[in-house]
Each structure stands twice: as structure tokens, then as C-alpha cells.
């Protein structure tokens, strides 16, 4: 069902209705129906009208505006080692900084294969605990930013030497290199720490630029996920300049909140050729309109699948203030997450899940994937080959891909091999 809001009063500042003025739509809004009720029937209308409209809607009602690209960026090679991983790869440690700004630099860890076809396709992934946790090489500096004490080897929210290589088992660098891919990663805390204030990161810079101080919180304007997406895009700015990297084959990857970010960054930046949001759940690849059975509180007071009311209470800094106005009426949202997936069209997307992670709503994510299909079919880009959720451990590697395994909420080396298999299909790589 589509609902026109053409006759409604619009907010003076944004030109968009206040949330309480939006109509209730129990089902997913039609991805090919404009806000004014008009239908999108051509690729030209999609690219010229509906795609820009959806980006505006997501920024206004949910994520906030992704910060703009700075006028000048500086890239500095801190380390280049062509004999990394016993000579299989080249290690590069790149610092990305905004020229003439107080915004902290992003430390990008990049590993490229020495053998195989050049330039190499690349996975760009954001990590939780710092680059030093991905590999134990002592040249990788300990992150200086605030980190969660949930990160192994972190004390008082800062990394110690015990954190080196703490997550290496979940980042199979050598196996990825052996498959012909480069891999790049950076810590989300380099961009903005996950603690709900504006005392550091990109928001400090923005506040100074806009207000001359940091006393005016930017929470009304945007949340951490939009800021982290900005970080993804700045890393892409570097990758497209590196001769070892195929700038036409960059894949964004992320787990959980980092998966939400990977999808948002890729949806808004067409330089990213493929997206793999892994167990991204509510606010990412899980629907805001959670099925009634999954949204009902259990004996512990929590629903089976996370809802926007729950996520906005637990992590209020991830999204903007407007999104919280939909806590009790998500049906008023003029979009759902299938529209974010549709912004990837015609590029490939893989939604990856685990059976033991019902909080991320695997079945709802499959519904999101299928609801994005009309945009892909409009662009003659295919869709999802599965008519229903596939069996456990079976990869659906169509343009709109899906995968679910046994296990819990985590990103493992086995997951990475599935990611590589999916990329092989769409990047024209031959499986070794």
C-alpha cells in the first residue's frame, strides 16, 4: 500500500512533515513510490528523483546528515613493508587527516597481495577495538582513542600491549590475501567514540566549524552511525588513489553496528561496489516494522528481535533525535530498511546472519531484502534468487544475497570466507 502525504503541512526547516503528521503504513512502504504518491517507473526517475529523496529521508528522519567531505585531505604512509605475512603481502599503515582541522586522523591498516592479478579488489571494514587487535605486528600502533573495556586488553578505556592481536582469529588476513583480495580496516573510535558525546572525533570538528565551540551538542543533527559512515568514505578517498587497489572493486564490510555503518556508507557512496552488512540488525538491515510476534515482550521484558524503541533507549547516540519520535509508532516512518538496501541498486549486497542471533531478526532481514527487489528489477539488475529463507549454511549469491549459519552474534574467519565467495561471484574472481 502506498500513501501520499502531498497535502500535509511541511516543517519549515526541512521541507518534510513532522513525524506525527506522517501516515501510518503497517507494511513496508513501496520503494518505487515517491513521498507525494507518484510512481517511479523508469531508471531515470529512480536516479534523478527517488534515490535523492530516499537519501534525504534517511538523513532527516533517522541517521542525520553524513558530514561533508573536507576540502583537503592528507594521506601519509607511516609504514610500508613488502615482506608482510612471510612475503605474501605488503603492509601499509596510512594516516588520513583533514588539512588544517582539529579532527583526529584515521589510521588505516591496508594489506595487499604481492602475487596475483593487479590491482586487487579490496574489502574495507571498520573494526571495534583498534587495528592493533587485528594483527599482533608491533609496528601497528596501539589506538590512542577511547575504546570499550569490552575489548580484550583494554583498561580504563584505553588499549594496552595485551590487546595486540586479540581479535586476529576473527580477521583471517592471510586467507583473504590467498584469495587475491586486499583488506583495509580502521577503528570506529578514530572517527567518533561509541559513548554518546561530542568530546572527540568528527563531531568536535563539526561543532567548531558550525558554532565556534563544542558546547552545542550535535545530537539533534546526526548520530554516530552517520559519522562512522563519513569515516568509511574518507578511507575510500585514500583507496582510490592507491595503485595497488582496484578502485572499481571496493567492498564495504561490517559486523553489528559496524555493519549498519557499512551499508549506510555504501548506499550513499557509489564508489563502493559491494556491501556486506553482517548481522546488522535493527537500524541497519533489520526492519523497523518488526513483526508483532517478534516485537512482543518475553518474560524478561525484552522482545525476541530488537525494536527501534529498544535500540534508541540503549544507544541513543547512534541515530538522530527525529528517529526517537518513531519509537512507539514505527509504522509512521516513510521508509523501512529495504529502502536503504535499494539505494545500493544495481550493486550487490549480502545480508549475513546467524540462527542464534534472533535479536538481529534474520527472518525480517530476508523480508527487507525481498522488498528491495523492485528497485533492482527496475534497473534490470536482477534480485534475490531465493523465494524463501535458504537452508542453514547455504549462500544465496545473487545480486541481493543472503546467508544464515548456526551460531551466535559474532564475525568469524568462516564468515569471511563466505564474504569472499560472494565477492568472487560479483567481482569476477576465480575461487582458489
Neighbours of 158 (CB within 10 A): 17
Largest pairwise CA distance in the chain: 66
Residue 409 annotated to the active site: yes
Burial annotation 161-198 (CB, 10 A radius, 16+ → b, else e): eebbbbbeebbbbeebbbbbbbbbbbbbbbbbbbeeeb
Q: Can you give the length of the chain in residues?
A: 432
CA distance 261 to 280: 9
**Spatial CB neighbours of 118, under 8 Å, sequence gap ≥ 6:** 244
Query: Taking the chain (432 residues) in consecutive chunks of 10 residues, what is each chunk's mean pLDDT?
Result: 45 79 98 98 99 98 92 96 98 95 91 96 98 97 93 96 96 98 97 78 69 51 89 98 99 98 99 99 99 96 97 94 97 99 99 98 99 99 97 98 98 98 94 57
Q: Are 189 and 130 in contact (CB under 8 A)?
A: yes
Q: Are 390 and 365 in contact (CB under 8 A)?
A: no
Q: Are 123 and 111 in contact (CB under 8 A)?
A: no
Please identify, in words, the CATH class of the domain defined by 73-290+333-427.
alpha beta
Residue with cell 513532522: 18
Q: Are 11 and 56 in contact (CB under 8 A)?
A: no
Look at the alpha carbons of 361, 364, 368, 373 in this order and tell me if their dihedral is positive or negative.
positive
Q: Are 244 and 143 in contact (CB under 8 A)?
A: no
Q: Which of 97, 409, 410, 413 is catalytic?
A: 409
* Predicted local distance difference test score (pLDDT) of residue 199: 64
Residue 288 annotated to the active site: no
Q: Which of 145, 193, 256, 398 is catalytic?
A: 256
Give the rounded distance of the alpha carbon of 52 from its chain centre.
19
Q: Where are the domains of the chain?
A: 73-290+333-427
For residue 278, the cross-strand partners are 255, 352
* Predicted local distance difference test score (pLDDT) of residue 6: 45
Amino acid at each position: 500500500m502506498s500513501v501520499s502525504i502531498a497535502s500535509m503541512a511541511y516543517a519549515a526547516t526541512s521541507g518534510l512533515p513532522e513525524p506525527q503528521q506522517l501516515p501510518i503504513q503497517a507494511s513496508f512502504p513501496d520503494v518505487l513510490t515517491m513521498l507525494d504518491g507518484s510512481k517511479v517507473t523508469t531508471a531515470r526517475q529512480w536516479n534523478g528523483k527517488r534515490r535523492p529523496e530516499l537519501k534525504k529521508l534517511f538523513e532527516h528522519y533517522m541517521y542525520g546528515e553524513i558530514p561533508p567531505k573536507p576540502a583537503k585531505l592528507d594521506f601519509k604512509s607511516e609504514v610500508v613493508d613488502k615482506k608482510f605475512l612471510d612475503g605474501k603481502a605488503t603492509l601499509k599503515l596510512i594516516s588520513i587527516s583533514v588539512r588544517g582541522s582539529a579532527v583526529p586522523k584515521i589510521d588505516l591498516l591496508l594489506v595487499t597481495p604481492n602475487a596475483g592479478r593487479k590491482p586487487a579488489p579490496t574489502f574495507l571494514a571498520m573494526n571495534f577495538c583498534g587495528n592493533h587487535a587485528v594483527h599482533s605486528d608491533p609496528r601497528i600502533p596501539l589506538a590512542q582513542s577511547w575504546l570499550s573495556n569490552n575489548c580484550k586488553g583494554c583498561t580504563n578505556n584505553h588499549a594496552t600491549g595485551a590487546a595486540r592481536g586479540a581479535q586476529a582469529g576473527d580477521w583471517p588476513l592471510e586467507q583473504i590475501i590467498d584469495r587475491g583480495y586486499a583488506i583495509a580496516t580502521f577503528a570506529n573510535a578514530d572517527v567518533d567514540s561509541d559513548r554518546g558525546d561530542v568530546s572527540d572525533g568528527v563531531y568536535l570538528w563539526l561543532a567548531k566549524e558550525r558554532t565556534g565551540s563544542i558546547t552545542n551538542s550535535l545530537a539533534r543533527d546526526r548520530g554516530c552511525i552517520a559519522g562512522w559512515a563519513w569515516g568509511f568514505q574518507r578511507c575510500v578517498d585514500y583507496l582510490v588513489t592507491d595503485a595497488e587497489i582496484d578502485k572499481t572493486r571496493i567492498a564495504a564490510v561490517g559486523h553489528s553496528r559496524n555493519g549498519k555503518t557499512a551499508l549506510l556508507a555504501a548506499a550513499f557512496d557509489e564508489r563502493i561496489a559491494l556491501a556486506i552488512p553482517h548481522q546488522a540488525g535493527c537500524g541497519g538491515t533489520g526492519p523497523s516494522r518488526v513483526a508483532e510476534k517478534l516485537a512482543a515482550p518475553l518474560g524478561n521484558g525484552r522482545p525476541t528481535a530488537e525494536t527501534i524503541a529498544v535500540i534508541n533507549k540503549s544507544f541513543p547516540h547512534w541515530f538522530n533525535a527525529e528517529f526517537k519520535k518513531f519509537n512507539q509508532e514505527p509504522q509512521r516512518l516513510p521508509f523501512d530498511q529495504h529502502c536503504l538496501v535499494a539505494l545500493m541498486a544495481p550493486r550487490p549486497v549480502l545480508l549475513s546472519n546467524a540462527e542464534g542471533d534472533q535479536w538481529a531478526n534474520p527472518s525480517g532481514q530476508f523480508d527487507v531484502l525481498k522488498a528491495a527487489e523492485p528497485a533492482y528489477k527496475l534497473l534490470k539488475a536482477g534480485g534475490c534468487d531465493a523465494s524463501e529463507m535458504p537452508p542453514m549454511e547455504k549462500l544465496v549469491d545473487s545480486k541481493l544475497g543472503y546467508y544464515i549459519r548456526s551460531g551466535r552474534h559474532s564475525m568469524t574467519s568462516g564468515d569471511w570466507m563466505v564474504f569472499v565467495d560472494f565477492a568472487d561471484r560479483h567481482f569476477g574472481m576465480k575461487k582458489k
